Structure 1
Amino acid sequence: MGSETNLTLALFGGVVLLLSLFSSAFQRMSLPGPVLALVSGVVIGPFALDLLRIEDLAEDPRMLLEEGARLTLAVGLAGVALRLPHGYWRRNLRWILVIIGLGMPLMLVVATGVLTVATGTPFLLALLIGAIITPTDPVVSTPIVTGSLAEKRIPERVRHNISAESGVNDGLGYLFVMLPVLLFTAPDAAWRDLLGTVLLREVLGGAAFGALAGYLLGKIFTMARRRKLMEESAYLGFLVPLALAVLGVAKLMGTNDLLAVFVAAAVFGQVIPQRDEAQEDKVEDAVNRLFLLPIFVLFGMALPIEEWLALGWSVPLALLAAVLLRRLVTIWSLRPLIRGLHTRPETFFLSWFGPIGVSALFYATMAERLTGDERVFVLVSLAITLSVVVHGLTTAPLSAWLDRRRNRNTHETRPTH
């Protein structure tokens, strides 16, 4: 084993170990893991200590990022799906239909419009960037809605709705991203390929395969537990292989593998006994430590900072505006349809926290590979960094604000005797 391999193990393992040891303290300081892991990657990389470069780890750094993001998303999506309680999808169908069916197209329109108007970016490139940053990231959302502070401060319905939305729209985001990609690469056949190949075979096929796989695996898991063929501790050992197996098979079948993983895990979570959901905290903790933090360290090492500096000051502001406004405008525009589901403070919290992260990284590297346009990664990586920092640093104060508003409203409406 070469020195570079050992150095990689030492640096990545050391960062994850340090962030794990002081995770609660960092959370109270509003310094979530993704922010610190990203900073750690920058410090390790060529723009600070230059201890290790991403080029030392792979001949094709972009492919390493794409596959690393893909694996992180697969396991993260499985954890997100299993976070949701039995009966969630039936009880919250209106939220899902509104935020996905109407919300995603509206967020795409807002993001694309901001980028086109504010930066003069060509429409097709703005449409591609807008599509990539439209979905709320399921992995980066996890530190916002899990942990002791989140459970204390954020109402359960808010945490569950963010989780469900981020899981569904991450998989469906592929459909949005592929439209501008096809217009770039095969404009004459773009709509035919989008509807025939992308929608019917990849998206719907992936969802159907995921549902079938999740149902069968859930029944097998339940039978094995009932007949005591597996240990209680085997729960986590079953979840991760489930995610990776569905990911691989779905890809071999030519379907949308990430959507298949989320649907499979969501169905699996509804089939297995309710008591098994008590293990979700252990699953989420393992996902954060073993997958989320390393991919952000790797991403921090790969940031194209020199290219960012050449953009000037207006482009970062426009990207941040696109990330924030696409969510704020959409949620408040749709509030008449979700008024009975969330209070105004909860609606503001939902409209603010639509972070982008690992899914945007995956789609950016994929889109750059398919189109050959290097501007995609430069712009999206900057948008991801801005989102991770802004949303990460505001998690603790805004969750505390939401908790105070909830407690005040509860006190004001409490009946007197």
Structure 2
Amino acid sequence: MPELAITNFNIVVSVLGGWVSLFGLVSYLLKENFYLSEALISLLAGVAFSPPAANFVRPLDYAGSQENIDAIILYFSRLVLGVQLVLAGVQLPSRYLKKQWKPLSLLLGPIMTIMWLITSLIVWALVPNLNILHALAIGACVTPTDPVLSNVIVKGKFADHNVPQELQRIIIAESGANDGLGYPFLFFALYLIKYTGDGGVAEHGGARLAMGLWFGETWGYTIILSIIYGAAVGWIAKELLHWAEERKYVDRESFLVFAISLSLFIVGTCGMIGSDDVLACFIAGNVFTWDDWFRLETLDDSLQPTIDMLLNVSIFMWYGAVCPWNKFLHNDVIPIYRLIPLGIMVLLFRRLPWVFAVHKWIPQIEEVRQAIFVGFFGPVGVSAIFYLYITLDFIKTLDINGVPRQDVEKLSETTLVVVWFIAVCSIVVHGLSIPLGKLGFYLPRTLSRGLAPDANPDDPTLPFSLGVRVSNFIGSRSRSRRNSQETSPPTPNTSETTSVSRPVYRIGGTVIPKTPGSPALSARLHTVSGPDHTASGSDPESTPVSPHIGPANRTIRFPDEPRTSVQIQHENDRKID
């Protein structure tokens, strides 16, 4: 008789696969209509599947001990950050770091330093009996803005409609670079704790040795070496891929996955030499597309957004399952009535006032509302968890004969509770800010229109309404079929011309941009301006985003999709000309 094999592997694979499939069925509705981030949704799913809830995901059973769970969290976070930062570097246009070094220096220098100091002061003020050096270490963990959560505001329909392209790029560049630059802030505090803490008895050398190690090891070996190594690997990889592609040695699948495999290589090799793999991945990604060749070649491909989505869903589900939720209420370092104000104050004062103060010197921030937007959306996420577990590993090295030093006896628990709580607050607050902001802006007018006696629910001029958006999204195809049956047969090319009003999105959710000579752009211009109009010589970066021509009622275009009759007719016209 067959027996049920309810093993941990079978449970994890079935839960992960089932959740990704279920989320995928409504992903466009949740992300592009309700503006909910996949990070927040996956975190809640991880909580629902965790041991305190459904008990489908049992991390302690898989790892065997809490030390192994901590190691898994650290390595999983490293992997996700490495892949995400290479992809972030690839997204930036040619020589972006060189061209925009002035605004980036402002964001990565004074602004990041102020963020570290203000966060540390808030932690020091609200955590009882906390040493200022310990507060500096905790503040350093949450100083970098997270590139994973930043995707919420630089990708998708909200970003396409509300965030200028240059502003998106500066956010990507900052969130990618400051992740690796969190090391100097963190180890400034950790080295001082090691060599000046506990009266300086445990480790001889004092502050002079601590600063020597900080300049030599942290800046020299960790930061500068990682920049040189990342740039060298990125340039060599670019040249090798050029060489292979020119000789037709590489197939399309290997070409598309090249950036992801490059990130794995850098994470592994930097990990072996002990350098900053996070910063090296971002530098390598930007140098890899220094000539813009790879970025433009993969602009319309959906492999990278797909890998990005799978990693996001997986890691935030894992975070939801392993987060120490019980310690927020029951710990020996900070009560909950202090922890909640700490999270609120960090989100309000860590970044917003300082970005707003210097926004006039950042050309990409043109308006006051953009300054508020960039200042508020500086999320804390995967990078904070990454630095948290680096801190916990460093504190273990301070033990004397297996016994923690007296001055750092509670530092591990304090760092664990505070960093996890701030990260969860950021995921929830930044994940709900856009939908709540939209709802708060449109709800009064929606209610007034809805209460009006002559209000028509199908009127397209009505403001934002969740019910209308759901019904429109679900019933769009049925309404179009019903309307086509009630009206006379359409004239040739009617469906294609009508579909011009719909933008075409990649599977990742972003609008597919127009490039010169593309069939969609040519057909669009041919339809609007006549056959004599041409798009040759136009700049692809300055071309306005106009909808693609594709099958009616479709929002996603696939590479193997057949051409429409408008496209075929336009090609025939060009041949005749």
> Is the TM-score greater than 0.5?
yes
Q: Matched residue of 1:374: which SS?
A: helix
Aligned to 1:394: 433
Structure 1 residue 30 and structure 2 residue 35: aligned? yes
For the aligned residue pairs, the C-alpha RMSD in angstroms reads: 2.1
Q: Is the 8 A contact 1:206 1:259 kept in 2?
A: yes
| Bigger Cα Rg | 2
Q: Matched residue of 2:36: which SS?
A: coil
Q: Is the 8 A contact 2:348 2:376 kept in 1?
A: yes
Structure 1 residue 131 and structure 2 residue 140: aligned? yes
Question: Identity over the aligned pairs, expressed in percent?
Answer: 27
| Cα distance between partner residues in 1 of 2:377 and 2:364 | 20
Aligned to 1:219: 239
* Aligned with 1:8 (options 12, 15, 31): 12
Deviation, 1:209, is 0.4
Structure 1 residue 156 and structure 2 residue 161: aligned? no
Moved more, 103-112 or 340-349: 340-349
Aligned to 2:299: 278
Q: Is the 8 A contact 2:230 2:280 kept in 1?
A: yes
| One-letter identity of the residue aligned with 2:52 | F
Deviations for 1:17-68, whole angstroms, at most 9, x for unmatched residues? 2223322211122321110111111111122112222112213111110111
Deviations for 1:282-319, whole angstroms, at most 9, x for unmatched residues? 31332122x11111111111121221013222212212
| One-letter identity of the residue aligned with 2:278 | L
Aligned to 1:62: 70
TM-score of the aligned structures, taking structure 2 as reference length: 0.66
Q: Is the 8 A contact 1:40 1:300 kept in 2?
A: yes
Deviations for 1:348-402, whole angstroms, at most 9, x for unmatched residues? 1101100011111111111112114132122111110000000011134558999
TM-score of the aligned structures, taking structure 1 as reference length: 0.91
* Aligned with 2:44 (options 39, 44, 69): 39
Aligned to 2:102: 94
Counterparts in 2 of 1:312-391, with a 5 A limit? Answer: 312-338=336-362, 341-372=365-396, 373-391=412-430
| Cα distance between partner residues in 2 of 1:222 and 1:152 | 35
Alpha-carbon spacing, 1:194–1:84, altered in 2? closer, same or farther (3 Å): same
Aligned to 2:79: 71
Alpha-carbon spacing, 1:252–1:22, altered in 2? closer, same or farther (3 Å): same
Deviation, 1:193, is 1.2
| Cα distance between partner residues in 2 of 1:178 and 1:260 | 18
Aligned to 1:141: 150
Structure 1 residue 167 and structure 2 residue 181: aligned? no
| Cα distance between partner residues in 1 of 2:86 and 2:303 | 13
| Cα distance between partner residues in 2 of 1:400 and 1:267 | 41
In the alignment, structure 2 segments of 5+ residues that lack a partner are 197-205, 397-411, 442-577
Aligned to 2:89: 81
| Cα distance between partner residues in 1 of 2:364 and 2:272 | 43
Flag as ranges the 4+ runs of structure 1 deviating above 4 A.
396-402
Alpha-carbon spacing, 1:340–1:62, altered in 2? closer, same or farther (3 Å): closer
* Aligned with 2:53 (options 29, 35, 48): 48
Counterparts in 2 of 1:252-263, with a 5 A limit? Answer: 252-263=272-283
Deviation, 1:147, is 2.1
Deviations for 1:108-140, whole angstroms, at most 9, x for unmatched residues? 111111222233443122211111111000111
| One-letter identity of the residue aligned with 2:326 | E
More helix by share: 1
Aligned to 2:254: 234
Aligned to 1:409: none
| Cα distance between partner residues in 1 of 2:81 and 2:387 | 11
| Cα distance between partner residues in 1 of 2:364 and 2:165 | 16
Structure with the larger RCO, 1 or 2 (CA within 8 Å, 6+ apart): 1
Aligned to 1:116: 124
